[in-house]
Structures are given as C-alpha cells and as structure tokens.
Amino acid sequence: MAPLLDRVQDYLPLLTQGLWLTVAVTILALVLASALGLVWAILRTSGRRYLSGPARFVVEFLRGIPILVMLFYIYFVLPELGIDLTAFQAGVIGLALIYSCYIGETFRGGIEAVDRGQTEAAKSIGMRHGKMMRRVVLPQAIRIALPPYGNNMVMLLKDSSQVSVISVAELTMQGKMLASSTFDNMTVFTLVAALYLCLTIPLNMVMRQVERRMGAAR
C-alpha cells in the first residue's frame, strides 16, 4: 500500500465533495425544518383546539416514523404516486419533516417557558395574539430555546448521514464507496469521522458563544 499521507491525499478530494453535500443537505433541511417547526409550535400554543389538535396529531405521526423509513417512502413510494424527486430533494425533505417535529417541540418548550406575566402585560396594552407572539413571546422564547436548538442542529448534521441510504453522495456515502473500492477501511472512516468532527466541534463552539452573547444582552 502507498504511504499514509499519499492515501489521505488521494481520498480527500472525494471526501471533501461529500462534505460539501453534507453541509448543503444539513443547511437546507435545517431551514425547512425550522420554518415548519415554528409553524407547529405556533399552532400548538395558539390556544385554539381546532389548530393545536391537528398540529399535535401531525407531529406525533411524523415523529413515530424512523428516518430511514421516511426516506425510503419519499424516494421510492412518492414516484409511484406521480411525485418524482431527486435523491437529494428526497433526502432534504425527509430530514426536514422529521426534524420539524423535534425543532417544533423545542420552540414550543421555549414559548411555554416565557413568563405568564409577559403575555398578560402584552394583553393588557391591547395586543392581539399574533402581535403578542411576534413582539413579546417569540423574542424571549428564542433565547430560551437556543441551547436545545443548537443540539437539534448538531443532531441533524449527524443524521444527514442517513440520506446515504437513498444514494445521496454525501460524506458517509463517499466514505462507503471509497472504502469498498480501496479496502482501506481504517483510513477512510477515520477521515470521515474527522471531517464530521470538523463540522460539529466548531458548531458547538459557535452555539456556546451565541448563548453567552444572548445571555449578556439581557
């Protein structure tokens, strides 16, 4: 076998390609999941049963499905119903649907943790529900929800590896292919793990910084 450094140099271009795809999948899924999660949280805390009931049902439903099954369903079953998606699209949508539940619960926790005195003060100056959420509750809920949201982000980044099962060529997929063509499992997967850590460790550090800033701004 070639010397270690040469092999690393051989593998890195493909793995970096995968890394970028991992980043793309994660960011797109995160944006979608956060938007959808916010919708779930707002519906569930609306105090109106015809809104909170269905939202709760959908969340429990989605949450009960394993990510892999969700991905298979979107990628293999939807085409039979006339909805054709690329593997990349299917991966992003599947992850986003599942994570919208976790993120929605995180946001809901934040909203419910805002002091009741705040909503009473907002109401007492005549605010309606929508404006009260936007101007009083959500700004405070976001601060409360930030640490668990950071965890959601890291989890999502790691779970993005699951989209390899529908052949999205992200980091894990690239690793698997390289390993099976070179039989150099140890080097390849060590590199793969290291590349994930290159993302997760800085992400954790950034989250901690942001938390500290937000804490200080109060």
Partner 1 sequence: MIRFTDVHKSFGSLEVLKGIDAEVAKGETVCLIGPSGSGKSTLLRCVNGLEDYQQGEIAIEGARVDAHAPSIHQIRTQVAMVFQRFNLFPHRTALENVMEGPLHVLGEPKAEVRDRAEDHLRRVGLADKMNAYPASLSGGQQQRVAIARALAMRPRAILMDEPTSALDPETVGDVLSVMADLAHEHMTMLVVTHEIQFAREAADRVLFLDGGCIVEQGPAADVLTSPQHPRTQDFLRRVTHPV
Shorter beta-carbon distance to partner 1: residue 64 or 218: 218
Output the smallest distance, CB 132 to partner 1, in A: 10
Beta-carbon contacts of 198 under 8 Å, excluding residues fewer than 6 positions away, are: 19
| Minimum separation from the CB atom of position 125 to partner 1 (A) | 4
| Count of residues near partner 1 by CB under 8 A | 19
Smaller CB separation from partner 1, 80 or 120: 120
Interface with partner 1 (CB under 8 A), residue from 64, 181, 186, 218: 218
For partner 1, which is the closer residue by CB, 46 or 140? 140
Of 70 and 132, the one with the shorter C-beta distance to partner 1 is 132
CB of 126 to partner 1, least distance (A): 4
Binding mask 130-169 for partner 1 (x = CB under 8 A): -x---xx--xx--x--------------------------
Question: Would you count residue 213 as binding partner 1 (CB under 8 A)?
Answer: no
Task: Using the minimum distance from each CB to partner 1, give the nearer residue, 111 or 163.
Answer: 111
Q: Retrieve residue 201's tokens.
A: 């460790």
Q: How far apart are alpha carbons 119 and 68 in whole angstroms?
A: 41
> Number of C-alpha atoms within 13 angstroms, CB side, residue 39?
12
CB of 105 to partner 1, least distance (A): 23
Please give the Cα distance from 192 to 19 (Å, whole number): 9
Shortest CB 130 distance to partner 1, Å = 11
Distance of closest approach, residue 35 Cβ to partner 1, in angstroms: 22
Tell me how far apart the alpha carbons of residues 109 and 38 are, in angstroms, rounded to a whole number: 11
Largest Cα–Cα distance in the chain?
75
Q: Which of residues 72-131 bind partner 1 (CB under 8 A)?
A: 115, 117-118, 120-128, 131
Query: Within a 10 A sphere around the Cβ of 70, how many other Cβ atoms?
Result: 18
Start-to-end CA distance of the chain, whole Å, equals: 59
List C-alpha distances in Å: 151 to 34, 87, 120, 205. Answer: 13, 26, 31, 12
At CB < 8 A and 24+ separation, what contacts does 131-135 make?
133/42
State the alpha helices, DSSP H only, in 45-86: 49-63, 67-72
Structure token pair of residue 23? 């980043």
Measured from the CB atom, is 66 or 139 closer to partner 1? 139
Q: Which residues bind partner 1 (CB under 8 A)?
A: 115, 117-118, 120-128, 131, 135-136, 139-140, 143, 218
